[in-house]
Structure 1
């Protein structure tokens, strides 16, 4: 989906229109969609809840709440507040959900009038024989592995179990089926522990917070610094003050023109024990930085009382879940260490909700959504859990130099083709890299919608990805009988399947080239 703001009156925030417009497009299209979805802004002004307040009104609002919901339930809540009470927030969420229903009804009418039939999503089931075989091997070993109090020991025990399963069942079933059945057993064990036993698999209570520690004044040459640790998650935040003329200039769609409080969040690969390229900030860094910034902003002194530009930089030193909320805690401490007269201390904690198909639900305090790739998924059934795992794995993959990917051609330019090699991640195949011979026009080789196999040759310092199909053809030419196919991918089922191209585009004859 591409959302473009064509006109902004600087009175109403266009963000909710983007959500509603996206929902409308998906609802009337053939794309499978569990909507419609609607979104509204809720403010609290003069002791009254206000639906869709203007940007000017939000300046005086105790609450700035965004509520997105379907006909049945709330799917997203985002908020900033001037220390609003839980009762006000609860009333506002309910008010927003009710307001969404009229917009949802309008979308349903539009869908009935001009909507296309939805494409059926293919489903896959795990072979029950594999599940039975896996269960007989792991037996009580899985519970013992998950019950390890420390994450490294748990990971080692699970890895050993996987290895044992593959060695013992490898002759009867594929490794993919074995590991898929094993992950299903792991998720089931986690859900049983939380919903039925009332505790997490490592023995931590549902409301129990991991061990906490904090230090301030660690860096002698900065205005303020603080180190906050929760479990194995650790964040160092540095405060720097500057003159008011150093505030950031803004050129956005809102009424704000300058910004004197800036929070930067850095998530280096070493925080999860990984080796990755360090480049420009990604969506994750930008989003987490904005989240923590919004949490701190209400307690800062007014401009006239404290005429300085304030910059916070949160460095994630170790990640084992909830680094954004650890950044909030470290930021609050660092501000106080710098002597900035904030109104009160601020703390953040990640909360979770686990439900089942029977309507049972459990609230988790300090959820351990591990940012190194381990994600706790709550779902009503195995099929939904498998879909969630697949989506998360695709979204969190990193593009690697030298990696070979099969992607979809998204756009054609005179100088090359842009190919989506991972969800939301595109690269450029220059015209000189499309084939192992000279290409006159990009359209002679590929079209929008084609699926081609490419190799990542470079990621520049701005994060731009350069791809080569020629490099893949060169490698395959060294393998007898090997070839590369260009076709429409099954991963993109919303276009009609065309005939599969030959293994390679034929090389133009010499006479034609001349």
Structure 2
């Protein structure tokens, strides 16, 4: 707590022999006209501002949730000022577009189903240190700004980037949280994981983005650990303690600064009795279908089951047993 209106908390992530990374969340200082605004810092050198706003009324004629995620990169964040002919900031970079998608994927299903109010999440990169990645930090900032905005959102959601750095001598392989670019050059695998903490304390993984690094081939030829399904599974498990720490930090801010959840009208795609009708006729039959190894045979069986259930559903609606919506 800093002052009567400014709330801040830190999460210190231990990377063992690679030191620590400090993630700091702060609200109450910037973008106070937004429904929720959070500044997120990584080691006090990289700073993002996430602001969440929502429309007062549902959008008419929309049969989907109108969520917009925007990442604004600015040259001044890296200490540069555009000059010469191009003096204005241009269109979003490829990296900014990919970060928008990384934020959207875990956050979109966390809103209440059937919400039709337009929601905008704008993340602005205010400062970035050389060799830093801001994508995972942006997921945390967007989650917390939405969590405190008063929207029907089941967060917090935390994101972490991990790099598998091979061991040398007495040191074993290690997953490093929020690695820098120079550390990524020495890694054989890189992944971004987002998730939430369940009531029982376990972590539910909501999104995974993984890839081998540019130097992984040469590292593997030199004797480094080769990425496999087992290694990826170990990476997901290694991400969970970091996700728990980041979620706990977000909860500290949310418990102090979150607005009361406002009543928003929802427009479900189908009634509960319609779902129960379909689930009762399809669920048990889908289990063996999705265990069919042959792709064509599996798809044909799936289509046959869908056609059969649809026919029963249409008959039940026409008979007045189920609502039309």
Greater RCO, 1 or 2 (C-alpha within 8 Å, sep 6+): 2
Greater Rg, structure 1 or structure 2? 1
Q: Give the TM-score, by structure 1 length.
A: 0.30
